[in-house]
Structure 1
Amino acid sequence: MSQEEKDVYVSFACQSCMQPIVLDESLDNIDVHSMAELSLPIYSGSSKTLDTEDVSAFDHFVPPYPLSDSINGTDFMLVSDGRDKKLSNTFKLKAELFDCLSSNSEIDHPLCGECADSILESMDQELKVAEQEWRDYKNYLERLEQQQDRPNIPALERELIELQENEKRMLSELEKLKKEEKSLNEEIKREEEEKVKLQKQEAIYWREYTKHRRELMLTEDDKKSLECQISYAEQQLEKLKDANIFNITFHIWHAGHFGTINNFRLGRLPSAAVDWSEINAAWGQTVLLLSSLARKIGLTFERYRIVPFGNHSYVEVIGENRELPLYGTGGFKFFWDTKFDAAMVAFLDCLTQFREEVEKRDTEFLLPYKMEKGKIIDPSTGNSYSIKIQFNSEEQWTKALKFMLTNLKWGLAWVSSQFAND
């Protein structure tokens, strides 16, 4: 086979899968009658023939592929698209044949073997379905022809009229239902909008609820804390009710030969040289105690006014504008300075006035040591001890101060007993 013949065979593509196909050689031997039929116009009234050089006249013509390829192992060369030169008569006849076939059926030609087989199978199925429908219609027609009673046309017409009226009524009802549906849809839309609003309000409510719930929990915690504090305060109050402020504030005791107040020693011994700062502090506590006791029972001292001023407390002589210091700054004996001695005598006088005031209120009250004119007398021995430093020994002076603190402790106990509920 020549190269030109190969070109003719492969100048068409399958109209289904668009793959190039090789035409059968029998298409080359078309008889004269067939060629005369093919020379007739494909469409009535059409003046175009294949003699024209307009390639667009082939309605279903697919240009050949300008490619080199191999199909089923057979080598061939695809020709060019052929638009720039005249086609051969044989190629035109084949193209018109395929165009005629395509025009007279719903299938475009040419087809390859596989696509043709697939279309034949599909058409076989359609044929079977058509044959089954034909048999069904034929059977139905035979049954109708065998029926002796003819259909009651008037009854059927009346039934048709009724059905038409029912149809009108149903359509009218359908219109009403559509209107109701539209109304319901609008109502649903409003309800949906209301639902969205309620959901937003619900979210706001839950936020507020959570906020207030948290505040409530914090308030309850604060309440419990306050209740615990109140309970503790009440317990402390009960303890304080049983306690006496004087006994707590002023603790009078002794340390060997020394009398002490709040652990400050009052006095000096050759064997125990107490620092004057400690003695002054002890005197300051003593003055504060007597001043507090006198204020508690409403006593105003005559001739003197004791002034608590820490370790620099003093006694003021009323009417003389003179201060007597109840603190020392140097050695034991100061023969040239008698103010300290005068201050201690004045303090003992004030303590005596306190005793006299208490005895007026309580005839059974009695101090363990007598006091008179700057001296303290021990009833058990009858010995008297001067509270002055001049012309006195450290032992005597220290003992007098110890007895004075003892009397002051008794006065403190009496005031505490009288004013226990205050």
Structure 2
Amino acid sequence: MSNNQVFECQKCDTPLNLDQSLLNLNESQLKLLVSQKKHKLFRKANSQILKDLDPQDYIPQDRLEMYQGITNQEPINHRNYFESEDDEDDEYEDEEQNNQQQKLHDSGFTSDSNSYLVLNESDEFKENIKNSHDGDDTEDRSTDERNDFRMSTRIKTLNKIFAILSNNQEIDHPLSEDCAKLLIENYQLKFDQSQKEKETYLSFLRKLKDKDSQLNLYNEDDENNEIVNPDLLHQDLDQKLYQSIQEFQKLSVQEKENLKELKKLEQTKTELETQLSNYEQELNNLRENGLNSILKLKNKLQLELNEKNKKLEQSKAAYDVQLDHIDKLRNLNIYTRIFHISCDSQDKFATINGFRLGHKIIWPEINAALGQIVLLLVFLIKRLKLDLKNYKLVPMGSQSQIIKFSAKDAVDGTTKSKTILNLYSSDEFSLGKLFNFNKLDVAMIALLDIVSLIEAKVLSIDQEIELPYKIKNDTIGGKSIRVTSNSEWTSSCKFLLTNLNWILTFVSAHTNSEETL
């Protein structure tokens, strides 16, 4: 590293190249810059100023007593930066002078002689000196050491110069060129601001002087500033005094009013603070005591409300279900629901409640179907309030019967005889089966006769109705109702159930709901 790059900018830490004017300073110039006498005079002047000042004028009494107590216990040793540096330099210079005197003494010269001789250096003399230096290696080494010593001393002196500059200013030195430019710009701004303030003060001073000259109270040419117009002065002073007194009275009245208002405000503030403290205490009591109970009650009521809401929702759901059920019941035809008359999948046999009726059907199913027909006829007779004089239906499931009443002449008078007609049969083969078929045929004819009576009742209610198949004697729709007719019996049974379905639909549409079973 070169000698001029030992220093760095104290603001941006940039390595600095010192100017040649600083590097080429001789020893006398360096000593003049860091002269100890100047600092001693400066310290003497400062000490004289400090002696003239009384510490009690600018230091509080308690701090002054603390300082005196501490100094009595442990005396304070003051050490100045410049003194310490100068002492070290003096010691170093004294040591250097002693070394030089010792060398002179060894060479045969004494320091007692203060005289000196000036010699002109001729070319021959210079050549001899040069040759003597070239021939003496010991003196070259001593010269190099001396040069190193001078360089270190120069660097140390420059450090001292920068320290002095840093102590005298608010900026640490040395500075780079850019930082120095910024510092100059800052000082320029401060200078401009000071100039503006100076101009402001000067303008204010001019205004004061102009006002003073307008009053003509003092003679400007007179050095003693004697009053030229005392009457004008007294008049002006009296007027100002009167205005001041009036202003003082106004301010006194305003002060009293303000004091009264302040007292009222303070009283109001005290009352508000008291109310606030009471409210805060009440709030704390509520938080400590009442808040827990309120929260518990709130939670309890919330749970009850949730339960009630659940029950309400359940009731609403059940209500909706019941409404739907009622709507279904209203739209439901109970007659067709109880007695469902239709045809099988092949549309060959008529069915009532799922039981087929016709030829080549097993007898238990036929007997059950006939029992359902008897039950339907009983239901229709009651709904139509029909009075059967010659017949009585006995519904007993698959063994239902029809009781037929007939008039019989006797000696004493007319009597009725009854005949029981079994509306069922079995599939057992016997000799009497043929007779049983004849009895079943008679029962089927009686059943057809009862249907014709019901048809007559319906026509009496509504003459416009007409059944699909006409009944005549033992035929319906031109088909015989007898069992022995085989295939015709199947068709006649189908026609019979169709007419019954029509009658059932009519009864369900024209009877009143009060006329129930």
User: Which category describes the TM-score, using the shorter chain as reference length?
Assistant: 0.3 to 0.5
TM-score, L = length of structure 1: 0.45
Higher helix share: 2
Give the TM-score, by structure 2 length: 0.38
